[in-house]
Amino acid sequence: MAIRSIDEIAIEGKRVFVRVDFNVPLKGSTIQDDTRIRAALPTLKAVLAGGGSAVIASHLGRPKGGPDPAYTLAPVAARLGELLGSPVPLAPGVIGPEVDALAKKLKPRSALLLENVRFHPGEEKNDPSLARQLASLADVYVNDAFGTCHRAHASTAGMAAHFGPGAKAAGYLLLAEIQAFRRILGNPERPFVAILGGAKVSDKIDVIRNLLGTVDRLLVGGAMAYTFLAARGVPVGDSLIEADKFELAQQITAAAKKRGVELLLPADHVVAKDMVSGADRKTTEAQAVPDGLKGLDIGPKTREIFARALGDARTVFWNGPMGVFETPAFAEGTFSVARAVAGCSGFTVVGGGDSVSAIQMSGVADRIGHISTGGGASLELLEGKVLPGVAALED
């Protein structure tokens, strides 16, 4: 797609609408993690340093199509002002006369944060009227919210149609995401190894199918691995499975073999009766899980097998934990994969909240080529889909 970078459009003296992803975790009115705010700073600073003014928009949480004090962006506005070194006022709403007046009064190198765009019922419906009114607030449109680009909402897709060539662009964060996924999906250096974990095969069917045409090795862990094992007749005890997906797992296994893709499943497991830290843990000798026990992490043999499979990788994508890693007793498998990915000499991409958390908790984030900010958006790209928010930027 012919998508312009923010560096390729004129900004000086113009109002720039910047769609960001400030969907940060809150406890009351306290921000628990400001990573997403910090991630947008390069783009916002470029707008302000370039002599433009910024009309900033984001969603937060899932309000039900109307104002909800629990999801106000007020704490975000305060934190953003601290990070930018200048106060950022919060508009009283998403659109309307007061918002229009505030936007028009903006001086160069100043910013305004709109209230939560999901407070307007037309946002998630991609309402044309809302899109038009949002577009009227600015001269230029910049999308830097990769995490919401798979949603055809008014602020991520609809309003972009009101800006002509040369007046819409991708911010630095979004551009980095696009370039990273083009690199792994277009013509990846080989061997290309993908690691998929998480609870359900059904959540990643299309990802697996699409990746089978690209990867050289596919490593499967987490609860979804037990559906594959059970479909092969391996006893899995009380492990979480999707019995209605056995045939699908068999089809995927056959397709991998036909395409020459090495499909690796856990060779051993850390098991317990209950999913709690104080549970009596055991490590199985082989793939079978004893009756009455649940597979909750990959075992030491599997960790070594997966590490070897990653040893010569030139391209790596990882999404999904190898077990119940949020419980310390079952975290080592996921952390071992994090270290193995970080040790790769090729280009590495990690996406999905749990995988990103594992990378950060393992202290290896600075050794990852690209950490994706959008779990759902990255998976849809891997499924071969076109993201509405990205397509809307095409000239």
- Which of the following is catalytic: 200, 314, 339, 367? 200
ω before 191 within 30° of 0 (cis)? yes
Q: Where are the beta strands (DSSP E) in the chain?
A: 15-19, 26-27, 30-31, 53-57, 111-113, 140-143, 168-170, 192-196, 217-220, 262-264, 269-272, 282-283, 294-298, 315-319, 347-350, 370-371
Reduce the DSSP state of residue 289 to 3 states and report it.
strand
- Which of the following is catalytic: 343, 346, 369, 376? 376
Maximum CA extent, the chain: 69
- Which of the following is catalytic: 15, 19, 36, 303? 36
Cβ pair 14, 139 in contact under 8 A: yes
Q: Which helix (H) or strand (E) holds 360?
A: helix 353-361
Sequence-separated (6 or more) residues with CB below 8 Å from residue 252:
208, 209, 212, 228, 263
Annotated catalytic, 376? Answer: yes
Q: How many residues does the chain have?
A: 395
Annotated catalytic, 200? Answer: yes
- Which of the following is catalytic: 353, 367, 369, 384? 353
Cβ pair 11, 145 in contact under 8 A: no
* Residues designated as active site: 36, 200, 353, 376
